Structure 1
Amino acid sequence: MSNSEMYDVIIVGGGPAGLTAGIYAMRAALKTVLVEKGVFGGQVAITKEVENYPGYINIGGFELCEKFLEHARSYDLEIREKEVVATEPGIDHHTVRLADGTVLRSHAVILAAGGTARKLEVPGEHENFGKGVSYCATCDGFFFRNKTVAVIGGGDTALEDALYLAKITSKVYLIHRRDEFRGSRILQQRVFAEPKIEIIFNSVASEILFDRSGVTGVALKDVKTGGQRQFTVEGVFIFVGFAPNNGLVPAGIKKNATGYVITDEKCETSIPGIFAVGDLRQKYANQIVLAAADGCTAALAAAHYVEMRKGTAS
């Protein structure tokens, strides 16, 4: 295998956006490679249940990701389970460098690196990651069977995971900084109807309490009165949004104030031939179906871009 290889399209990331891009790129007969360093499916893979992806009334997140991957592989998409360390724009072609020293070159690059759970950045959080602090209920909920836990957040993920934890634990404190949830109405109805969930509005975690064994409680501050109080819990599950994984986005590409990549309707960035999709791209909402749509759009646009580049070169 050559240490420097040329492709039509390189896709960085194997979540719903990246895998969909791979499907459409292969259907367009583009020489394509997808590079993913971790678990295929991204955040979706650690979601217990998906109820809003068209065609599936209810499906496990990991199972849905497996279907994405199986579909992509059915087109003989080349997949490399490697880490990307740099994306470098160029005039004649773009370059993607892997951790093992391999250099990949292409006419177009589709960045589909997704996002990472945001941290509270409060005392006790970092020290107790894996010892009572978690960002994934389906990953770690089992360890808190019949115990009391806190869930922090007010979006769909927080509500979904509070409901999931209510099936396993003895009690769930659901803590949100506002006086109403951001999550969908159907999830709110389920949360309000669940007797094991106690809702605490207008409060933020100021500290995660712990001893040598791990988490022992959470300290809260009332955002309206400034009052402080503590709750005894053995686990704290944090769902306060995601930050885009934009570390591989070249410096010349425009981003908004929160780090999301700004693109046009084709998902193309401010550098021609480099596209951003899924949770990496600035858009109204982050949903699996929208990530898949981004992947489709970017691949179709990349196919047109590659055709134009090859036509100009000839």
Structure 2
Amino acid sequence: MRVDRHSKVLIIGSGPAGYTAAIYAARAALEPLLIEGLQPGGQLTITTDVENWPGDVSVMGPDLMARMRAQVAHVGTQVVSDTIVEVDLTAKPFVAVGDDGSRYTGDAVVIATGASARWLGLDTETRYRGAGVSACATCDGFFYRGRTVAVVGGGNTAVEEALYLTNFAAKVYLIHRRGALRADRTNQARLRANPLIEPIWHAEVAEVLGDGRVVTGLKLRDRRDGRLRDLAADGLFVAIGHDPATGLFRRQLAMDDEGYILVAPGSTATSVAGVFAAGDVQDRQFRQAVTSAGMGCMAALEAERFLAGHTPHAIAAEPGAPVTT
């Protein structure tokens, strides 16, 4: 059933960034309204063991998100299970439209819609995701101490993931579909100097091999002649990029060439006054739960300061900052 709701702070998206923004906004008596989106809790809901969240030696990703959501509700946030399909950041107050036509308005907006890893699109990749297949070396590299892993990709992210994994793994294969990397020269020099990394050129992963429980290897296809060969490996890290969930905001907010929302240095403020972006939707470098939570805190505090300096009438009359793309 369609409903219309207004809040001082409208939060679009959940996960560590959205939930933390809601906690801080609620404690500031801003009566936030949080729209959870298609995947309530974000990427951590499909993550198994999380061992780098402060205060927990180990916690399951879905359990951590359930705890955050419970805290959000406890402090008084209105949580709505809906998906935003349209936004108008030129209107004052700002307007977001849900999947069923419900209209949500806010005097300030926090965007926490996150990003998703690009995957290879293999059925076996999906089957072993979280059981040997990962898109985050920083998150999961620790589990491969003394073991053999493979990284797929040819850009800076792939090389940096491979280099990071040498802190744990005994052997790291870097699989690239071409004969040369796209990574910058500094990263390529570091890769060549590391004896634990072995590049495999002109190759693509045709299948992820496993015993039904965990990954045991990869089937590689040579892109030049189509020949297949097996490679023994305990884990596969896919590093072919991320896609920020920013389609709703295109042509309304300044973004970089990959679609990440641009924010002011040391801030979560976007190109539109009163609109703030937190977490993976603007962070192309770290993409960690703890940094997303930190940015959610920043966004709520900045929204509070913005609202303190603007009466509702002034908010309604003030034009947004120019948008560049």
The answer to whether TM tops 0.5 is yes
Correspondence for 1:274: 275
Q: Deviations over 1:39-93 (max 9, x none)?
A: 3321122222222222223222222222211221111211111111011113421
What secondary structure sits across from 2:254 in the alignment?
coil
Q: Distance in 2 between matches of 1:45 and 1:208?
A: 27
1:18-59 per-position Cα deviation (integer Å, ceiling 9, x unaligned)? 000000010111121111133332112222222222222322
Asked whether the equivalents of residues 262 and 282 of structure 1 are also in contact (C-alpha less than 8 Å), the reply is no
Structure 1 unaligned blocks of 5 or more:
142-148, 167-171, 211-215
| Paired AA for residue 150 in structure 2 | L
Corresponding residue of 2:178: none
Aligned mate of 1:218, from 214, 217, 220:
220
The aligned amino acid for 1:308 is: G
Number of the residue aligned with 1:156: 138
1:190 corresponding residue in structure 2: 168
Distance 2:290 2:80 in 1: 24
Structure 1 partner of 2:229: 231
Deviations 1:203-240 (A, max 9, x none): 46436369xxxxx943145xxxx78752348x996622
Aligned length: 277
Residues 1:53 and 2:53 aligned together: yes
1:142-194 CA-to-partner distances (Å, cap 9, x unmatched) read xxxxxxx8x58783357468x49x8xxxxx76244569852498853432289
Q: Partner amino acid for 1:101?
A: G
Corresponding residue for 1:132?
124
The amino acid of 1:182's aligned partner reads E
Please, what is the CA RMSD of the aligned residues?
3.7
Q: Which moved more, 1:5-14 or 1:180-189?
A: 180-189
Q: How far apart, CA to CA, are the structure 2 residues paired with 1:189 and 1:207?
A: 24
Give structure 2 stretches of 5+ with no counterpart.
Answer: 173-195, 209-217, 316-325
Aligned residue for 1:133, secondary structure, equals helix
SS at match of 1:254: coil
Alpha-carbon distance between aligned partners in 2 of 1:109 and 1:269, rounded to the nearest angstrom: 10
The alpha-carbon deviation at position 302 of structure 1 amounts to: 0.8
Q: Work out the CA distance in 2 between the residues paired with 1:74 and 1:272.
A: 29
Q: Could you say what secondary structure the match of 2:23 adopts?
A: helix
